[in-house]
Structure 1
Amino acid sequence: MVTPGEYLSFLDARLPGLVAGAHVYGSRVLDDVVADSDLDIVIELSSPAEVPAFEGADVAVVPAGSLEKPVFDVTPLAGEITPVLWQQLRTVGQTVRGARPTCPGTAAEVEAYCRSNLVDYWKLDFDRLRSVLPTLDPEAAFPRDSLLWVGLGPARLWHTIRTGEIVGKSRAGELAAARWPDLPILDLVASRRGAEVPLKVSHAAASLDLFDRILADVTT
């Protein structure tokens, strides 16, 4: 598992003197690290440069000083930036180089982003899943990584819309399972945490059902 120090050493060797700031977010600061967790990190560069890829690191790159501006006023040099990222950085993010950022933003911006993402991104994926599920055997195995992505991702948005809090995938799954205990969401949480849980097409169908319930819950 990549550490911030390892990644910064890699960058400093290739971009000497350019890395002005580095800020960790995601599973490392949300108490949700599992065996295959990436290092989620925002890098500030003092001058524009191409940041080389590094396996195990999910990187957003911005010009130095960008994290003192509203997210909509910043054009990233690489990666994606969102109101949810800005909120993480100003609340629970871990600064490992440079000054702790202010990342100005509002709860309304975070909620609006989450609502839009549910429809503009996730609904497209689930509409495709809805079209193929009837052709699949419910007892057949389903790809683990894909299932954990679609099964737990929307639950994070649902919780943030309802409460304003940002949580990791595992906690989001626990909260969704508590709200809808008839769905086998805890199987997904257990698998994410390393348990040997057979994940099937029936779990994908339950994830679709969960998404439909989430969409109904946040639009009523």
Structure 2
Amino acid sequence: MGAGEAGQAQVNDAHLRALDESAPGLVAAAHVVGSAALDDHQPGSDLDLVVELSRPPTPADLAALAAAQTLDLDVVYLVDGEPGPWARDGEFRVSGGEVTPVVLLQLNEHSTTLRGARPSFEVTRAEVEDYCRRNLVEYWRPLVELAAAATGPGFPQGVLWIAFGPARQWHTIRTGGIVSKSRAGELAAAHWPDLAGELLDLVAARRGADVELTAAHREAAVELGRRVLAEV
């Protein structure tokens, strides 16, 4: 186990241990999703966890959930299979959590179960594709055009976000499968060779290589986003 994986395990173990101590029996199952489950977690990235609760949380349970949050752990808690409490960036909310069809698919096919039974949620390919198309239009299109209007390379993390987010949705629509951000960048580079140099630089930068990001990388990310949107 590498240092990054060890750190992830420590965060997850500490979270579940805190819940066991303050709310015994509350956690029925826990699953890692996101980049960590896809072997693409990078330093500074959040860890994504889906926790199935054994009972509707009482006020004391909610207090225990709130007290267990950390800045680097994003959690959605499921109550009878439905999203309930959730936390992000250390902030806890008692309701309004969301588990998208893409997350359900990842839970079924690409999650790491830390406790309890392997997940098996009902989700269809049509539901996954519909979510991806809506997400591309409603969420990603405005961000792509905002990046297009910027000058200079922009913040490195912003360029990486724009480059890989639409590419992941594009891959899922085309194949029904889920890939990591880095793999999505590689697949997009293979599909659009004229963008390959910049896209592969962005993949390397995500993986920690010392790559100087320039306006050309931002422009390639924007062009990739526009091409993905044109296909949907």
Q: Where on the TM-score scale, by shorter chain, does this alignment land: which range?
A: 0.7 to 0.9
Aligned to 2:85, the other structure's residue is in SS state: coil
Distance in 2 between residues matched to 1:15 and 1:181, nearest whole Å: 53
Residue number in structure 1 paired with 2:75: 59
Distance in 2 between residues matched to 1:30 and 1:122, nearest whole Å: 22
Residue number in structure 1 paired with 2:105: 87
CA contact 1:2–1:57 (8 Å) conserved in 2:
no
Count of matched residue pairs: 204
Residue 166 of structure 1: CA displacement? Answer: 0.2
The correspondence of residues 90-129 of structure 1 with structure 2, limited to 5 A, is 90-129=108-147
Residue number in structure 1 paired with 2:185: 173
What RMSD in Å do the two structures reach over aligned CA positions?
1.7
Unaligned runs of 5+ in 2: 1-6, 87-96
TM-score (norm 1): 0.86
Q: Which runs of 4+ in 1 moved over 3 A?
A: 13-16
Aligned to 2:194, the other structure's residue is in SS state: coil
CA contact 2:163–2:199 (8 Å) conserved in 1:
yes
CA contact 2:76–2:83 (8 Å) conserved in 1:
no
Distance in 2 between residues matched to 1:145 and 1:15, nearest whole Å: 37
Residue 47 of structure 1: CA displacement? Answer: 2.8
Residue number in structure 2 paired with 1:215: 229
Residue 75 of structure 1: CA displacement? Answer: 4.0
Unaligned runs of 5+ in 1: 67-73
1:20 aligns with 2:28: yes
Residue 182 of structure 1: CA displacement? Answer: 1.6
Residue number in structure 2 paired with 1:71: none
CA contact 1:23–1:43 (8 Å) conserved in 2:
yes
Distance in 2 between residues matched to 1:10 and 1:181, nearest whole Å: 49
Distance in 1 between residues matched to 2:167 and 2:130, nearest whole Å: 16
Cα offsets for 1:40-59 (capped at 9, x unmatched): 11012223225332122111
1:192 aligns with 2:200: no
Task: Evaluate the alpha carbon distance shift between residue 82 and residue 113 of structure 1 in structure 2; reply closer, same or farther with a 3 A threshold.
Answer: same
Identity level (%)? 48
1:160 aligns with 2:172: yes
